[in-house]
Amino acid sequence: MHNKVVVITGASSGIGLALAKEFSSRGFKVVLAARSADKLKDVEENLRSTGTEVISVRTDVSKEEDCENLVKETVARFGRIDILINNAGLSMRALFRDVELSVLKQLMDVNFWGTVYCTKYALPYLLETKGSVIGISSIAGFIGLPARTGYSASKFAMHGFLETLRVENLKNGLHVLIAAPGFTASNIRKTALTNDGSQQGETPRKEDKMMSPEEVARRVANAIKKRKPTLVLTFVEGKLTVWLKKWMPRTLEKLTYQHMAKEPDSPLND
């Protein structure tokens, strides 16, 4: 593992930060990418203090040139890429009838196009190493979540892109993993966009009842090691949901509506 290189977007907090620490503990060379240069530097210094070879590259994944630069900086420093984890993401919480279209575009730019841009420029190096491309997705990529049209749409798009990439490279040794953590205790809900694009702030969910980012990171790392195609975490909100989607879709729609309507100040109750 000591010669292998992992690139992680959205690495300054939440699941991305936990992934950085997990791969650092496994002996990887780590490349951190996120929009906040200050937060990245703090993470970089923390990992370096443990003996990890690490660099941070300020990256807005919605900008193609930033993603291209991320790959260039990685290859210039380490000469290879073994794993690309497309983790950077935005969420939202607003009914489609109320949301400004610019919000949906922002979700697609980060969640979908960010994955496409980073993967496009990293792909030649990943093919050389027969490496792994990972999309950190969501149960919202399997079912349409009410009040999250842009989020679900971006994750469905991510799934289609990554599944096609996997099929195209069946004979090239490329590993593609779609990982759906379910609800995880992270800041993605605090930064979720409302109907006008502002951040919602305080999370409407009980974070202490959710899976920790560290547990998600450990499970994702193990799935990469085993080169699994799909990882769906949690039973009720994950595996059972995917099963119901296939066999009882109408029942799932009703259950999903009821579940999401129970959130404090849910737009579904307006």
Of 130, 157, 159, nearest to 242 (Cα)?
A: 159
Q: What sections of 113-192 are H helices per DSSP?
A: 114-129, 149-168
Q: Assign 3-state DSSP to the chain and report helix, strand, coil percentages, each to 5.
A: 50, 15, 35
- DSSP lists the bridge partners of residue 134 as 85, 177
> Which member of 117, 125, 151, 257 is catalytic?
151
Residue where the block lists tokens 């029942």 = 251
Encoded tokens for 23: 């791969």
Q: Is 151 a catalytic residue?
A: yes
Q: Which amino acid is at 211?
A: M
Report the C-alpha gap between 167 and 142 in whole angstroms: 19
Report how far residue 220's alpha carbon sits from residue 242's, in angstroms, rounded to the nearest whole number: 18
Residues known to be catalytic: 151
